[in-house]
Each structure stands twice: as C-alpha cells, then as structure tokens.
Structure 1
Amino acid sequence: MNTFKTGLLLAAMTALFMGLGYLIGGAAGAIIAFVIAAAMNLFAYWNSDKMVLSMHGAERVDEASAPQYVRLVRQLAENAGLPMPATYIMHQPQPNAFATGRDPEHAAVAVTTGLLEILSPEELAGVLAHELSHIKNRDTLTMTITATIAGAISMLANFAFFFGGNRDNQGGIIGTIALAILAPLAAALVQMAISRTREYEADAMGAEISNRPLWLASALEKIDRAAHVVDNDTAEANPATAHMFIINPLHGGARDNLFSTHPATANRIAKLRALAAEQGRAEGRPWG
C-alpha cells in the first residue's frame, strides 16, 4: 500500500511540475519539465536523504560522541526488528526530530540539540520509537522525495510568477500567475493528506516499540510548547521539509496554519493517553 501511495504522490507532483513547465514554455516546456521531473525522482530516490540531512546541517554521531542517544536508538531498533540506522544531530535550539532514508537498510534518524537538552531518557525513547516507526512503515522514502519535489515546484512557481510564462496559453498571464500561486498550495495539500495519517500511525507504532505510550505523549507536549516560541532557522529556510519533523517546526506565517502537515498535537496526545488507558499502563519503569 505504501508503494502505491508513493507512486500516486510522485505522479501528482510530476503533473504539477509539468503544468508549470507548460505555462513557462508551452508544450516544449511541459516535455522538458517531465524529463526534469523524471530525473529528479530518480535522483531523489537515491540522494534525497543526504540532501535533507545536509539542508539541516545534521552531523553524524556515534556511541563515542553521543552515547545515550545512540544506545537508545540501537535498543529501540532491536525492539522494532530494524537494522541500526545512522544517527545524526542537528545543532538547533528548537526540540525536534525526523527520520529519512529510502528503506530500513539505508535509514537515518536526526534529532536537534534542543531535543536532547529538554527531554528525559524516557521521553527521548518515545520520540525515537516514533521515528523508527516511520522507517519500519517505509514512510521515509515518500516523505523525503515529497520534500525534494515540493521544493522544486515552489521554485518553478516563483519563476513562472515573476517572468510571466508562456503568453500563448489559453489562460494568458492571469492563468499563469494563478497556477504559479496555486501549484505550491496544491503540493502542500498533497503533503498534508499523506503526512497527517502517517503521523497518527507512527505514534501508535512508536508506542508499541517503546511499550509506553505516555512517554511519547509527554515528549509531544514539551516539543509542541517549545516549537511555538523557538525558531528553527533551517526549517524556515526549507519549508518543504517541515512535514518530515515530529512536530511542525514552522511558526512564522499563516500558511503554516492553513496547510499544516501535522495533526493537532492535542489530538495526538489524547490518542496516546487513550491507548495507555486501554493497556492499563502508567509511566512505567525508567528507560535503560
């Protein structure tokens, strides 16, 4: 099912890319856009994880440089039946995290320094279990490729908006400008539709991996509270990657509210608490 969703997502993004190509250069522009989109899809499959990690200044760490973090990832990966992913740290004060990679054998988990500073070991385990769930569900490929192509759509839309595009198309300049504005919004809607469901699924599976739903619930409360007041400069500069984070890292504009790629944190916490109640579990033993 995830393979089908990935294909559908790529088709939708490619169609948007071709539409903008047509507005800029007519039929020839659409063909060129298709070739570029195909090349981007192929490149993104193999390299989008490296691009996203680089965008956010993530540095790879090991057990010698970040022992508690790396040991938690290893233990949780064993619990989930996953290969050990690469571990990265982003030097950002905003507490947040994401996972990336084309499959479980080529996956990575990245957390911010802010996350490591404010969470307890139990809360950190809850967050890492959530990210490993994305890897186990193979969400990471879809999420990273979406970030790459959505960013390209935004850039091409800006080009169409400022340079007017193909004046021979039936919509004329007004149609060009309208699509240049609507295409990035459509791309955001595609991201939103895919990401919201996957966040709920990753919360539930993460609770299963850590065996303590309330650990993640507590972590989400802290991260959400901080994300509203602490900037994440690299995320603001690369908004197409926002859907990859456990909590929306953006808070600079109304667009983030209208086209949020994350479900409401309060709803996620409520579901986790309900799950804990069903299991009859409270906070449980300390991690480690």
Structure 2
Amino acid sequence: MRRIVLFVLTNILVLTTMLIVFTILSTVFGIDFNYISEGTINFATLLIFSAVVGFTGALFSLAISRWMAKTIMGVRVLDPKSNLSADERKIVDTVHRLSKRAGLKKMPQVGVYHSPEVNAFATGPTKSRSLVAVSTGLLQSLDEDAVEGVLAHEVAHIANGDMVTMTLLQGVVNTFVVFLARIAAFIASRFVRSELQGVVHFVAVIAFQILFSLLGSLVVMAFSRHREYHADRGGAELAGKDKMIHALHSLKLYVNRVDTKQAALQTLKINNKKRGTTYFFSSHPDLNDRIRRLKEH
C-alpha cells in the first residue's frame, strides 16, 4: 500500500512540475511544443519536448527521493547528537565510519523504520544529501557482521554516485520512450480517416508509451544489476570481503527460510534463483551470482 501511495504522489508531483516547466518555457521563452504541423512531425521540437518530459520526471523524483523515503516509509532519522540507544549509536557510528573510509565529505543521514521485512536502502539527490535506512527486521534477523556488510553495500552505492547515474539513465530512456511513442502514434494515425486521427493518435501515444516503457525498463534494470555487482565490491573494500560475503550468505539463508514473495527487498532484492523472463525485470542480480562474483574478484 505504501508503494502505491508513493507512486501516486510522486506522479502527481511530477505532472504538476512538468506543467509549470512547460508554462514557463512557453510564456517566458516562447518555445512552441506543438511538434505536428501541417501533417508532418517537427523532429527537433519533438526531441526537445521528449527530453523535457523525460528528464523532468527523473530529476524531480531524484530531488525528492530522500524526503519521500522518510515520509512514506516512516524512516526515523537518528541524530548523532541526540541521546541514542546503544544499538542505534552503533548503527550511526558504523555508517559514519564506512562513509569516511569511502571518502564521503559529508556523512549520510542514518535512519531506521519499523518493518518485519529484511530491508536496507540508500537514497538522496547527491552524495552530500544522502540517506541510509535499515528496517527493524534486518537488525533483528542478521548478526552484527552481516549488518555491517549490508551497510557497506549501501554506502558504496552513495560513494559510486549510483542514484544520480541511474537517474540520468532513466532520463535518457524516458526521452527515447516519449520520442519513439509519438512517432509510432503519428504513423498509426495516418491509417485512419482524418476526423479520427486525433483520437487514434492520443490513444496510440498511451499504448506505445507503455510498450516502450516496458522495453526501456529492461535496459534500466540490466544496468541496475550491473551496478549492484559494483556496490558489492565496494562494500567488500569498505567492510572487508569476508563480511560482505557473509552478508550475502545471510540474506540467502533468510530467503530459504521464508516465502520469497514476502521477503523480496526494496533495495537488496533478495532473490535466490533466476526465474525465467521475470529476472530481466529485476533490479538486482541473483544472490548466488553475487556471491560467486565477489569470491572471484
């Protein structure tokens, strides 16, 4: 339910922002976004329109990612200057120690949220405005070394700039999705009577955008899986290879004890087996592959 609310709220905010951006560009700079003129497509205008739409959504989602995570997931930020419990202090100290080792100049915010799922994630628009959050389920299910390995993995994501990299890639993919969907819709609308072309074009844009978004997600997810291997290696460098491997093994054991449908992680994506075509839509690699590659590295 929280993921649905997050999706709806994010898209409402993105659409509102895009409306403001288009209004400013049209009224202040006099940019015309009507890419169809006299029965032909103005490709330059369409490309500008597509880039604005594609990158606005991606960049806006990145900009509010830390705030959204804290708001929707109910993350309680642990203030290092406040009176923390011994366990909370240990989490903060571990993240800060790993962050300094990773060369981060500003320490990430550290937070905990109540959930039985074994989960941890890193988010934020920049390295200096990042957040590392862990679930109470993870802290209760994994031992201290495994928790440190998981935290090192998340800090490595921040140090590698993965949030920004994935956002830029998503922006490029979004641009091509919007661009190609409207070209395909324009072509499809040419096969009907002129009085129906507007309706057909509108419906076809939606249909092709969904189709191309699914195809584009294959590229994004493949690159995401590639970055996970890098984060594993980064986590091994920060916390030690043995702790990182131990963390992955602990996650694998956890998967074997519970229903994987309920154990799927938002970030670590506990996944013990490749499951046909659905694997290509997964943002995280198979755990066995992650352990094997880390051992070979």
TM-score computed with the length of structure 1 as normaliser? 0.64
TM-score computed with the length of structure 2 as normaliser? 0.63
Deviations 1:229-251 (CA, angstroms, capped at 9, x unpaired): 2666997xxxxxx5xx12258x9
- 1: distance between equivalents of 2:250 and 2:210? 35
- 1: distance between equivalents of 2:225 and 2:162? 12
Question: Which residue number corresponds to residue 51 of structure 1?
Answer: 68
Question: Which residue number corresponds to residue 189 of structure 2?
Answer: 169
1:167 is displaced (CA, Å) by 10
Pick 1 or 2: higher relative contact order, CA cutoff 8 A, min separation 6.
Answer: 1
User: Against the structure 1 CA distance between its residues 273 and 170, is the aligned structure 2 distance closer, same or farther, given a 3 Å change threshold?
Assistant: same
Question: Which residue number corresponds to residue 213 of structure 1?
Answer: 241
Contact 1:85 1:108 in 2 (8 A): yes
Contact 2:55 2:168 in 1 (8 A): no
For 2:189, the aligned partner's letter is N
1:71 is displaced (CA, Å) by 1.5
User: Against the structure 1 CA distance between its residues 109 and 214, is the aligned structure 2 distance closer, same or farther, given a 3 Å change threshold?
Assistant: same
Q: 2:158 aligns with which of 132, 135, 139?
A: 135
Q: Does 1:246 align with 2:268?
A: yes
1:184 is displaced (CA, Å) by 3.0
Question: Which residue number corresponds to residue 204 of structure 1?
Answer: 233
- 2: distance between equivalents of 1:46 and 1:177? 26
Write the mapping of 1:222-237 to structure 2, written as runs, cut at 5 A.
Answer: 222-226=250-254, 229=259
Q: 2:90 aligns with which of 68, 73, 80?
A: 68
Q: 2:284 aligns with which of 257, 262, 265?
A: 262
User: Against the structure 1 CA distance between its residues 46 and 266, is the aligned structure 2 distance closer, same or farther, given a 3 Å change threshold?
Assistant: same
Contact 1:100 1:109 in 2 (8 A): yes
Deviations 1:199-252 (CA, angstroms, capped at 9, x unpaired): 111111110111x212122222332454562666997xxxxxx5xx12258x9x
Contact 1:56 1:234 in 2 (8 A): no
Aligned length: 233
Q: Does 1:179 align with 2:208?
A: yes
Write the mapping of 1:113-152 to structure 2, written as runs, cut at 5 A.
Answer: 113-143=136-166
Q: Does 1:99 align with 2:122?
A: yes
Contact 2:99 2:107 in 1 (8 A): yes
RMSD: 4.1
SS in 1 for 2:118: coil
Question: Which residue number corresponds to residue 193 of structure 1?
Answer: 222
- 2: distance between equivalents of 1:260 and 1:42? 22
Contact 2:264 2:270 in 1 (8 A): no
Identity percentage over the alignment? 32
User: Against the structure 1 CA distance between its residues 42 and 140, is the aligned structure 2 distance closer, same or farther, given a 3 Å change threshold?
Assistant: closer
SS in 1 for 2:76: strand
SS in 1 for 2:117: coil
Which structure would you say has the larger Rg?
2
- 1: distance between equivalents of 2:290 and 2:204? 40
5+ residue gaps, structure 2, are 1-17, 19-32, 37-44, 192-199
Deviations 1:24-68 (CA, angstroms, capped at 9, x unpaired): x98479676654444434433432332244333322123415122
- 2: distance between equivalents of 1:274 and 1:35? 43
1:137 is displaced (CA, Å) by 0.9
Contact 2:55 2:172 in 1 (8 A): no
5+ residue gaps, structure 1, are 1-16, 18-24, 236-241, 276-288
